[in-house]
Amino acid sequence: MYKILDKKLDKLETDSQQAYIQSLKSYVEQLSIEWGRRPTYFIQTFGCQQNENDSEIIAGVLEASGFVLAESYEEADVSAVNTCSIRENADTRLFGHLGILKTLKNENKNRITILCGCMMTQDQHIEKIKKSFSFVDLIFGPHDIYRLPLLLWDTICNNQRIIAVSEENHWHEQTKLPMARSRKFRGLVSIMYGCDNFCTFCIVPYTRGRESSRSYKSILKEIQELISEGYTEVMLLGQNVNAWGKDLRGKVEGPTNFAELLEAVAQNKELKRIRYMSPNPRDIDQQLIDIIGKYNNIEPHMHLPLQSGSNNILKAMRRRHDRERYLEIVEALREARPEITITTDIMVGFPGETEEDFEDTLDLMKQVKFDSAFTFIYSPREGTPAAEYDNQIDQDTITARFNRLVELQNAHSLASNQSVIGKEVEILLEGISHGDDNILTGRTADFRLINISIPAEIRKRLPEIAINQEGLNGDYFEGKYCLVKLTKAKTFSIEGEMTAFDVNL
Ligand code: SAH
Ligand code: SF4
Ligand code: F3S
């Protein structure tokens, strides 16, 4: 039987969370002596970068308690899945993973299984887990991460089985939990939580609650910490990142506007690349565009979700911007920062989308020529208004439209990548390529993905630590800069050759 905690979390004792970490630590130390090895953990993260950032906190708490990172569920004593609800395939993937975790639990009852993230806020999933996957030990929602030390203590040390999913996120300001960052190159900084927009297709306002901005001071403090740890790239995160501060207006002293926050971050000259994700067209104003034009270290890239090019559909989606406004923003951005790349999210098959609506999307794409785009098929989400609409589009029409959409976008992406071939650019390295240990990957300031080969004369000057038995040592390169001559454009990436390494740019 699960112990089900109240959905209203009225009080959170910050000090006691730290005390629970200490208690866990003593317990884990004891275990390590008994087992002759340290207990291990593994976290699988689905969804957006905010979920990734949450996983960094979960990892931080586990590491502060003495657990060490394992490479897979199979090697982990504690496994966690941080779930996402945005589209149906995200849900389905969780249930695949639960199959694996069930087998592992059957092999060894002492393994701990944790589920968290957006899917856990939905009753239908909780019911399914209780019924078919009741081996899961701990379930908590996105707002409950702040009481994780207590939840872990009760689960791991007291053998309790807990469901803790609270409704609102009031606790981000009070609690300072440790964080184990997963990358050396892009420090993620959540600056606001939740979303108030209620676009009719979207589950996020239901899973992540109302908009709640972090304080100006605590954001800048985290940025300072990242700088002192050596980060030169940061990414400000929010479901609707440029709505930062709206909920603080009239309640706090000091800046309450995203443009001002971004400017304050940009004034840190140690930061070479400041990114933010995702801005919403409805909250873009000229002040923000001017700041983007003024500071070189703000990325010359904006990911600006469009969803549809049809005003009818945008209205039915409750997006609060129309195609004319979208085009106006693009034009102003390109004027302020001529080298800017613009990427987007587009979906096809929203209920009621006619051929004409779809053609409007293609037409807008032709006008903007996005440098790249995430393309989605509309996925009805239980609990959202659009899922109830009776004018759902049939699968064949959706598939045909999706193929046309992708074909057009691919042509634009390729043309965009072709336009930079021959240039020598600065790359922030992210590690080695998945397919080839002798190829590095990294990004340009305008967020293009580059696969990089190293010519023999540079390779032979690399320190010993840069190369291991399999090839290049990704860990060594991660977070360093190099210069690359771009040689060959592909649709989703560019090939290039390194011309200088570890340059102090
Ligand atoms: N806050 C961002 C979007 C976050 S979700 C914004 O407002 O733009 C990321 C993307 O997932 C969305 O831009 C949208 O294109 C896609 N998405 C969200 N809900 C979806 C659904 N029900 N079906 C298909 N795609 C969806
Ligand atoms: Fe979802 Fe719309 Fe909020 Fe984006 S702005 S998270 S699409 S409700
Ligand atoms: Fe998914 Fe939740 Fe992010 S639904 S996209 S993990 S906010």
pLDDT at 504: 59
Contacting residues for 274 by C-beta, under 8 A, at least 6 apart:
233, 234, 235, 236, 262, 265, 266, 295, 297, 298, 299
Contacting residues for 178 by C-beta, under 8 A, at least 6 apart:
21, 57, 60, 61, 63, 64
- Containing H/E element for 443? strand 440-443
Q: Which CATH architecture has domain 183-299?
A: 2-Layer Sandwich (3.30)
CATH fold label, 3-171: Rossmann fold (3.40.50)
Q: Residue 300 and residue 292: Cα distance in Å, rounded?
A: 8
Token pair 């009719």: residue: 200
CB of 50 closer than 6 angstroms to any ligand 3 atom: yes
Q: Residue 117 and residue 54: Cα distance in Å, rounded?
A: 8
Strand, coil or helix: what is 432? strand
| Cβ neighbour number for residue 424 with a 10 Å cutoff | 12
Q: Residue 311 and residue 313: Cα distance in Å, rounded?
A: 5
CB of 48 closer than 6 angstroms to any ligand 3 atom: yes
**In the chain, where the domains are located:** 3-171, 183-299, 303-419, 424-501
Q: Residue 20 and residue 3: Cα distance in Å, rounded?
A: 19
CB of 305 closer than 6 angstroms to any ligand 1 atom: yes
User: For residue 147, how far is its CA from the centre of ligand 3 (angstroms)?
Assistant: 20
User: For residue 205, how far is its CA from the centre of ligand 1 (angstroms)?
Assistant: 11
Q: Residue 98 and residue 130: Cα distance in Å, rounded?
A: 12
User: For residue 42, how far is its CA from the centre of ligand 3 (angstroms)?
Assistant: 20
User: Which pLDDT tens digits describe the chain residue by residue (505 residues)?
Assistant: 898 888 887 777 777 889 999 999 999 999 999 999 999 999 999 999 999 999 999 999 999 999 999 999 999 999 999 999 999 988 889 999 999 999 999 999 999 999 999 999 999 999 999 999 999 999 999 999 989 999 999 999 999 999 999 887 667 776 689 999 999 999 999 999 999 999 999 999 999 999 999 999 999 999 999 999 999 999 999 999 999 999 999 999 999 999 999 999 999 999 999 999 999 999 999 999 999 999 999 999 999 999 999 999 999 999 999 999 999 999 999 999 999 999 999 999 999 999 999 999 999 999 999 999 999 999 999 999 999 999 999 999 999 999 999 999 999 999 999 999 999 999 999 999 998 999 999 999 999 999 999 999 999 999 999 999 889 999 999 999 999 999 999 999 999 999 999 875 5
User: For residue 240, how far is its CA from the centre of ligand 2 (angstroms)?
Assistant: 7
Contacting residues for 419 by C-beta, under 8 A, at least 6 apart:
none
Q: Residue 278 and residue 396: Cα distance in Å, rounded?
A: 31
Q: Which residues pair with 4 in a beta bridge?
A: 163
CATH fold label, 424-501: OB fold (Dihydrolipoamide Acetyltransferase, E2P) (2.40.50)
pTM of the model: 0.96
- Closest atom of ligand 1 to 203 CA is 19
Domain 303-419 has CATH 3.30.750.200: yes
User: For residue 420, how far is its CA from the centre of ligand 3 (angstroms)?
Assistant: 33
Helix/strand/coil percent split, the chain, to 5: 40, 20, 40
User: For residue 472, how far is its CA from the centre of ligand 3 (angstroms)?
Assistant: 34
pLDDT at 7: 82
Identical topology for domains 3-171 and 303-419:
no
Q: Residue 288 and residue 300: Cα distance in Å, rounded?
A: 13
Top mutation candidate among 87, 119, 125, 207 for ligand 3, by most atoms within 8 Å of CB: 207
CB of 199 closer than 6 angstroms to any ligand 2 atom: yes
- Closest atom of ligand 1 to 319 CA is 7
| Neighbour-count burial for 374-404, b at 16+ CB within 10 Å, e otherwise | ebbbbbbbeebbbbeeeebbeeeebeebbee
Top mutation candidate among 204, 241, 244 for ligand 2, by most atoms within 8 Å of CB: 204
Q: Residue 437 and residue 54: Cα distance in Å, rounded?
A: 29
Strand, coil or helix: what is 180? coil
User: For residue 344, how far is its CA from the centre of ligand 1 (angstroms)?
Assistant: 10
pLDDT at 169: 67
Ligand nearest to the CA of 304: 1
Q: How far is CA 103 from CA 69, 94, 112, 120, 382, in A?
A: 21, 15, 13, 21, 29
DSSP character string of 305-316: --B-S-HHHHHH
pLDDT at 171: 72
Angle, helices 395-418 vs 355-368, to 10°: value is 10
Number of H helices, E strands in the chain: 16, 20
Top mutation candidate among 49, 195, 321 for ligand 2, by most atoms within 8 Å of CB: 195
CB of 196 closer than 6 angstroms to any ligand 1 atom: no
User: For residue 483, how far is its CA from the centre of ligand 2 (angstroms)?
Assistant: 37
474 in Cβ contact with 328 (< 8 Å): no
